Structure 1
């Protein structure tokens, strides 16, 4: 009986150790991907940091800290097909506001987003942040110049 318990304990410890090393490896991979990205485009990283502050001050109350929004009320930004496939329209929504029906991840939204009064550089920064957060990936830097050229 003691032998069986000892074997069971050893197997359990081996499993925990393996599982723990896999998690450490996964965390290391995530860190190394982030470090590579930071080294590749420091301008994007700086913009995203500023954009996070803009998001926290202007967007978080509707779209939430996790970017998931509120179903049928405020569309998600996390893993958002609309955001990632409609760059100009997304910039326009932040710059000029949004009304009318849009479909995000298969769900229809028909609310109103008022203009936030942000400067073009703030819009570029928040777009860089949201298009690179919560499962979104965008290596193409959104610039103040690009935002300034978008008209209503």
Structure 2
């Protein structure tokens, strides 16, 4: 009887440890970008640079998975605000943002301080976040576009 129980527990553990979610490689888990978009070499390079900008400036509030912090920092993952408000999103990164915004039906009323980024860095991080965590943007954001956006 003990042998049957031990065998059943071992089989259950083996099956659960071999789930497809747990078998993802580290690169699959740490690279949330949309592989379909990465066919454009300019976009691919911009997203690589943007990931570095995100890691250095954005990850502490919006987290590595882009999900943000409920009631404090809005999500970037699958974000309707980010994807539907291109100019306002660029402006928020470039100049900071304060006041109420609604993201995925949830109101946020906080402050994002200006990050002091160059126009190229803003473009790169926008290309990264608009093509990561379930977001898809096929229109490259360029430093020239960012430079035309005023406060």
Higher relative contact order (CA 8 A, sep 6+): 2
User: Which stretches of structure 1, 4 residues or more, deviate above 6 A after TM superposition?
Assistant: none
Q: For this pair of structures, how many residues does the alignment match?
A: 125
Which residue matches 1:119?
Answer: 118
Question: What pairs up with 1:1-152 in 2 under 5 angstroms?
Answer: 34=35, 37-38=37-38, 40-152=39-151
Structure 2 length as normaliser, TM-score? 0.77
SS in 2 for 1:70: coil
Aligned-partner Cα distance in 1 for 2:102–2:37:
31
Could you list the runs of 5+ residues in structure 2 that have no partner in the other structure? 1-14, 29-33
Structure 1 length as normaliser, TM-score? 0.77
Could you list the runs of 5+ residues in structure 1 that have no partner in the other structure? 1-15
Write the deviation string for residues 85-133 of structure 1: whole angstroms up to 9, x where unpaired. Answer: 0000000000000000000000000000000000000000000000000
How well do the aligned residues superpose, as a CA RMSD in angstroms?
A: 2.0
